[in-house]
Structure 1
Amino acid sequence: MKTVPLRSFQEFLGSSARFGVPTDASWRNRLLANLVYYQSNYFLIIIHSFRNPTSLVVGLGITCIPLVLFMLADISPQTVRNPKVALPVIIALSLLLLYSINHLIFFLVAILIPCLGKFASFSAY
């Protein structure tokens, strides 16, 4: 069994990747050809994602916290205007983000797998 060599970043996602919407007939063939061509790259990304699931979950939480806070700020704008409440929350969240930046990076890399698959299906040869 022969393994496929790793492709360069420029070829994998860089400027040499061309994107266009395929026809329905050619979409499946292009997706399968792309998966075979970049299988080593996708395999390394999947291995990286499952290597540390705790980082994946913590990164998901760190990513969702700002979304929840924006929703709460939209619901009750009086809380945002009160600096006695807003300043400690901002400081605590900033420290949490700095403390867990490695988890956040791990999550962002792992969550890009579906995005890469989507872009791979639209990549032209």
Structure 2
Amino acid sequence: MTSNEVHLPPFRNIDDFILASARFGPPDYQNKERWNNRILQNLLYYQTNYFVVALTAFLLVMYISPLETILGGAIVSGLLVVLFYVSQNRTNVEQFKRDYPFAVIFMVTAISTMVMYTFGSIAVFVFSVALPMLLTLLHASFRMRNLKNKVQNKVEAVGLKKTPMGAFLRAFNQDIQISF
């Protein structure tokens, strides 16, 4: 096993995550750096729990409204593919707009109508993605850190143990500084 391998940390027990031994308190809204540090540290320490909560919340919305979630996801994915194609092929798109202006008007009208007609499904899909993020952010903001949390995060920051959340945070240039 090399030090470059990414490992999923263990699932933290429910008692530590949300029940009796968990300590919750409001973040210091005046000190954004300290609040950001609390969120980052909790994201690293409870990442497996957050993944399970996110998957459970997504599956719950999927169970309640399966067709709307799938249709909304397909529409959003299709729109993202179209936007990616347009952004990558600007010259071809500009030429097509000049050559076939009525086709462009028809396509924009058709796509707009489809989006408006399926707006409820798009909203359900966005909710199925936003709800897990909201739950994670709320827990990470209000869960106060303990000594075990701080020690485990120090190991991650030093680079001895690499985790998916650590790689994700580094990809978004979030400096993982541990303060005790």
Q: Which TM-score applies when normalising by structure 2?
A: 0.44
Q: Which aligned pairs between 1:1-125 and structure 2 lie closer than 5 A?
A: 19-22=35-38, 24=41, 28=45, 47-74=60-87, 75=89, 76-77=92-93, 78-81=95-98, 82-124=100-142
Which structure 2 segments of 5+ residues have no match?
Answer: 1-28, 144-180
Contact kept in structure 2, 1:20 and 1:124, CA below 8 Å: no
User: Identity over the aligned pairs, expressed in percent?
Assistant: 15
Asked which structure has the greater CA Rg, the reply is 2
Shift of 1:56: 0.7
C-alpha separation in 2, matches of 1:79 and 1:93 = 17
d(CA) in 2 for partners of 1:99, 1:27: 40
CA spacing shift, 1:80–1:115, aligned 2, 3 Å: farther
> What is the aligned residue count?
102
CA contact (8 A) 1:73 1:79 kept: no
* 5+ residue gaps, structure 1: 1-14, 33-38
Q: Which amino acid in structure 1 is aligned with residue 37 of structure 2?
A: V
Q: What CA RMSD, in Å, does the superposition of the two structures yield over aligned residues?
A: 3.7
Letter of the 1:63 counterpart: V
Paired AA for residue 108 in structure 1: V
